[in-house]
Structure 1
Amino acid sequence: MQNVNGYSETHKRTLELVMTAVLIALVFVCTMLLNIKLPIKANGGLVHMGTAMLFITSILFGPKKGAYAGAIGMALFDMVGGWLLWAPITFVARGLQGYIVGKIAWAKGHKGNHMGLNIMAAVISMPVMIAVYYVGEGILYNNWVAPLASIPGDIVQNVIGLIVAIPLCAFLLKIPYFQNKLR
């Protein structure tokens, strides 16, 4: 059965699955290959471009794809990058962050095309991500003071991600593909 765009529902679902898998891979690659270890001893000392890609994905493709890409892409990095113990925490923290960014960026029919909402979405998602990592680290180490040292690195990572993602989204939203095909 054909829908309005001439694609069957099966074809449309397949395209959605492939697009989600590509976005997960992009978050994973940006986390894996584009990272810098900060000179701080706390666990929040890794800055990577996976956060920027999470923001970009959530803004351009909405909350569902943003949540999947952030949760799975960054948890996969933890699993292959020597941070296996952190994978479940990352899955929750980054899944929630991607969902929140996408939900706010796509609020009131904007679909990621309102830069003010996009910035607000990323900023609102940051304390949630930081809180999940704080609680996770507190549970892992049975210590509620030590995780405080990770917060500055988490903030730096999110701010850099925001600084990279917002201009890139503004540029990408001018490309006809993002204006027509995804809307």
Structure 2
Amino acid sequence: MSLMSALTLLAASFITIPSYNGVIHIGDSIVFISVVVLGRKKGAISSALGMFLFDILHGYTYWAPFTLIIKGIMALIAGYLWEKGESKSIIQGGVAFSMSGLFMILAYFLSGALIKLLFSGKAITFTQALIVSSYDIFGNVLQVVVGIIIAMPIIKGIEAYRKS
């Protein structure tokens, strides 16, 4: 679990592209790999801790508590859907990881609005906070899609190794 937390932190730190409220990174690929390698519970804990540490170490401290919860639940969803699928195919993995990614996108959208509302230092309405938070939706979609594209061949390799 510690190794997967460290890999999550490293992957998120490796390539970061600034977005409006945060960054886009490839750490989600390790979130998906973690739940396949460790199972949903241990994968969720390691993913949440790795991403939490990323936020703390890279100056996104406002986001850290949200990330801890969001990435943990994201991994639980991904792991649950992966474990319940029978085929373990690329399509089944893509669906499982996409569903967890949709949760992440919505959760970060709402969390971003809450952070803007509470910590912007300006008098803004919740609607205005939602509008500002919506600027990161495309980046979060891109992050999930790239995470799936990176994770699936690695997961298929792990699955093939386990069968041999």
- The TM-score normalised by the length of structure 2 is 0.86
When the two chains are superposed, the root-mean-square deviation of aligned CA atoms in Å is 1.8
Query: Which amino acid in the other structure matches residue 173 of structure 1?
Result: E
- Counterpart position of 2:12: 31
Query: Does the Cα contact within 8 Å between 1:61 and 1:102 map onto a contact in 2?
Result: no
Query: Which amino acid in the other structure matches residue 15 of structure 2?
Result: N
Name the SS of the counterpart of 1:82 in structure 2: coil
Aligned partner (choices 121, 140, 144) of residue 154 of structure 1: 140
- Counterpart position of 1:128: 103
Aligned partner (choices 86, 89, 92) of residue 117 of structure 1: 92
- Counterpart position of 1:66: 43
- Counterpart position of 1:145: 131
- Counterpart position of 1:6: none
Query: Does the Cα contact within 8 Å between 1:92 and 1:132 map onto a contact in 2?
Result: no
Name the SS of the counterpart of 2:135 in structure 1: helix
Query: Which amino acid in the other structure matches residue 35 of structure 1?
Result: I
Aligned partner (choices 134, 141, 154) of residue 168 of structure 1: 154
- Residues 2-81 of structure 1 aligned to structure 2 (within 5 Å): 20-32=1-13, 34-38=14-18, 40=19, 42-44=20-22, 46-81=23-58
Query: Which amino acid in the other structure matches residue 25 of structure 1?
Result: A
Name the SS of the counterpart of 1:173 in structure 2: helix
Structure 1 or 2, whichever has the larger Rg, is: 1
Q: How many residues align?
A: 153
Q: For each residue in 1:106-154, what CA deviation from the matched residue of structure 2 results, as whole angstroms up to 9, or x when unmatched?
A: 116x4x8443321111011111101111111111111121101010000
Which stretches in structure 1 are left out of the alignment for 5+ residues? 1-19
Hey, what's the Cα distance between the residues in 2 that align with 1:113 and 1:145?
A: 38
Name the SS of the counterpart of 2:136 in structure 1: helix
Query: Does the Cα contact within 8 Å between 1:69 and 1:98 map onto a contact in 2?
Result: no
Q: For each residue in 1:65-118, what CA deviation from the matched residue of structure 2 results, as whole angstroms up to 9, or x when unmatched?
A: 22112211001110011111100111111111111111111116x4x8443321
Which stretches in structure 2 are left out of the alignment for 5+ residues? 118-128
- Counterpart position of 2:76: 99
Hey, what's the Cα distance between the residues in 1 that align with 2:149 and 2:155?
A: 11
Q: For each residue in 1:21-72, what CA deviation from the matched residue of structure 2 results, as whole angstroms up to 9, or x when unmatched?
A: 111111111112x22315x5x125x222211111111123221122112211
